[in-house]
Amino acid sequence: QVQLVQSGPEVKKPGAAVRVSCKASGNTLAKFYIHWVRRAPGQGLEWMATINPTGSYTRYAQKFQGRVTVTRDMSASTIYMDLSSLRSDDTAVYYCVKELNEFSSSFYFDSWGQGTLVTVSS
């Protein structure tokens, strides 16, 4: 069973940036696309970004273009999601998610990390 373990909760001020990490078990990152999805309080799920197994390809939701960057450190089996220029409405639980099938980007969000709460408040 693939495990995705995310970093702990963060509290940030408006305008700041946050980095959320997602460590994968086994050889997951070498075979699977990884996605980032968030859920704000009282809101629904929202797709943010996707990165391929080699880290050579990323795709970002239009809403987050220019503010979000996803990278990977293969030696550490870790994916990072950086979100800048934070606003209060970025307060949400952020999830890293593994694609269902190997080497496929069908956006079937299969295994989810435990979630990281990011609170943006002055």
Partner 1 sequence: QSVLTQPPSATATPGQRVTISCSGSSSNIGSNAVNWYQHLPGAAPRLLIYNTDRRPSGVPARFSGSKSGTSASLAVSGLKSEDEADYYCATWDDDLHGVLFGGGTQLTVL
Query: Footprint of partner 1 on this chain (CB under 8 A)?
Result: 37, 39, 44-47, 59, 61-62, 95, 100, 106-110, 112-115
Using the minimum distance from each CB to partner 1, give the nearer residue, 14 or 101.
Answer: 101
Using the minimum distance from each CB to partner 1, give the nearer residue, 8 or 44.
Answer: 44
Taking the C-alpha atoms of residue 115 and residue 112, their distance in angstroms, rounded to an integer, is 8
Q: Least separation, in Å, of the C-beta of 85 and partner 1?
A: 20
Using the minimum distance from each CB to partner 1, give the nearer residue, 54 or 101.
Answer: 101
- Per DSSP, helices labelled H in 18-107 are 28-31
Q: Least separation, in Å, of the C-beta of 89 and partner 1?
A: 15
Taking the C-alpha atoms of residue 20 and residue 2, their distance in angstroms, rounded to an integer, is 19
Strands 109-112 and 116-120, bridge-based pairing: unpaired
Q: Least separation, in Å, of the C-beta of 112 and partner 1?
A: 4
Using the minimum distance from each CB to partner 1, give the nearer residue, 15 or 41.
Answer: 41
Taking the C-alpha atoms of residue 44 and residue 28, their distance in angstroms, rounded to an integer, is 27
Q: Which residue is listed with tokens 């970002």?
A: 60
